[in-house]
């Protein structure tokens, strides 16, 4: 299929899904609205992880740290009298500011060393939140008064807006020269440097952009749950969730995190309803099978079918 047709299909599918997401609160009850909000949360976080790890190949096990920083920033600012939308913006900004020095320090490391450094970052965030009792209230955590919180509709549209913004950002990066240079770094960083790619600048820029989104999402999450503590804000399982969703859908693609998040969340909900005591184990086994036998993710099924078409040109991709 020609590239122009693929973009047209993506545009209309995206427009229809956006319209359905906007209309959903007017036609579903609070349970389904909350479920969709959680799907958007996972989409936004997966796109953020996809931006740095899917594009550059630098696998991060610590992006939950930016989520936790944003959650605490949002909770603190709400208690200090800031409006909810300002708390979201500040959560994103603080996470991005934190990512600048961290990016310069950690992106010098490669392979497992970068992954371990990021894993340590998440643990440092949890310990600081636990020990800095005067600001974070330590292990007791924050309970936000309902009077400070926006309505469920506002939280829903905030999370949807973040998921949409993250997807559009990844789509822009994917089709830009910047995205091309990031993929060149993923394939062979030394070769990319030899042809004039500023690898340090590109990696740090992608890292900071990928930290903005979890920071804002963390602030909305604090408003959604109305309670956070170090364990929930800096939860290691959230890192695993980002990675699994992206690998399940298709790493380095625009639609992969969306397909992965929707599929994983629906499967998790169905398994939880049928097997409440073993749903996480069953889902883990299912994901392991898919990752082992479908390394390109669900998006690769469409790609392989198109490449088998008799009129497909060599090298043509969806």
pLDDT tens digits, one per residue of 130-189: 998 888 888 888 888 888 899 999 999 999 999 999 999 999 998 899 999 999 999 888
In a domain, 175, yes or no: yes
In this prediction, residues 241-250 reach a mean pLDDT of: 86
State the Cα–Cα distance between residues 251 and 290, nearest whole angstrom: 13
The pLDDT, as a whole number, for residue 279 is 65
Q: Does the residue 96 lie in any domain?
A: yes
Average pLDDT in the 27-31 region?
88
Spatial CA neighbour of 287 closest among 252, 261, 248, 251: 248
Q: Give how many domains the chain has, as a whole number.
A: 1
Query: What is the rounded average pLDDT for all residues in the chain?
Result: 86
Segment 54-100, tens digit of pLDDT:
888 888 888 899 999 999 999 999 999 899 999 999 999 999 999 99
- Residue 259 domain-assigned (yes or no): no
Q: Is 196 a domain residue?
A: yes
Q: Is residue 111 part of a domain?
A: yes
Evaluate whether residue 201 is within a structural domain: yes
Q: Given this model, what pLDDT does residue 121 score? A: 87
What residue numbers bound the domain in which 111 lies? 28-235
Q: Give the range among 14-18, 190-194, 295-299 with minimum mean pLDDT.
A: 295-299
Least confident among 36-45, 110-119, 215-224 = 110-119
In a domain? residue 262? no
Q: Is the pLDDT of residue 1 over 70?
A: no
Q: Given a cut of 50, is residue 318 above it in pLDDT?
A: no
- Rounded CA-CA distance 126/22 in Å is 35
> What's the confidence (pLDDT) of residue 281?
74
Would you say residue 65 lies in a domain?
Answer: yes
The per-residue pLDDT for range 282-292, each reduced to its tens digit, is 667 766 777 77
């Amino acid at each position: 299929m020609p590239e122009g047709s693929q973009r047209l299909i993506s545009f209309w599918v995206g427009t229809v899904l956006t319209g359905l997401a906007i209309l959903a609160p007017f036609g579903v009850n609070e349970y389904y609205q909350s479920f969709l909000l959680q799907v958007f949360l996972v989409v936004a976080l997966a796109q953020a992880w996809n931006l740095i790890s899917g594009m550059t190949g630098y696998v991060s096990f610590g992006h939950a740290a930016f989520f936790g920083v944003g959650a605490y920033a949002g909770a603190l600012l709400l208690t200090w009298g800031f409006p909810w939308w300002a708390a979201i913006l500040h959560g994103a900004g603080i996470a991005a500011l934190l990512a600048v020095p961290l990016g310069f320090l950690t992106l010098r490391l490669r392979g497992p060393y970068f992954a371990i450094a990021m894993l340590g970052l998440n643990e440092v965030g949890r310990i600081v939140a636990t020990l800095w009792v005067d600001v974070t209230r330590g292990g007791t955590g924050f309970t936000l008064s309902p009077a400070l919180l926006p309505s469920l509709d506002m939280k829903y549209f905030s999370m949807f807006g973040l998921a949409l913004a993250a997807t559009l950002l990844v789509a822009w990066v994917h089709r830009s020269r910047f995205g091309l240079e990031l993929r060149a770094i993923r394939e062979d960083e030394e070769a990319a440097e030899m042809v004039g790619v500023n690898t340090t600048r590109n990696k740090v820029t992608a890292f900071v952009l990928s930290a903005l989104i979890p920071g804002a999402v963390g602030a909305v999450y604090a408003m959604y749950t109305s309670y956070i503590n170090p364990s929930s804000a800096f939860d290691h399982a959230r890192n695993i969730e980002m990675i699994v969703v992206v690998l399940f859908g298709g790493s380095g693609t625009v639609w992969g995190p969306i397909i992965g998040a929707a599929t994983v969340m629906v499967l998790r909900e169905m398994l939880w309803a049928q097997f409440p005591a073993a749903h996480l184990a069953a889902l883990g086994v299912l994901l392991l099978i898919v990752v082992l036998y479908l390394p390109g993710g669900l998006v690769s099924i469409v790609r392989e079918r198109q490449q088998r078409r008799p009129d497909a040109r060599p090298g043509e991709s969806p």
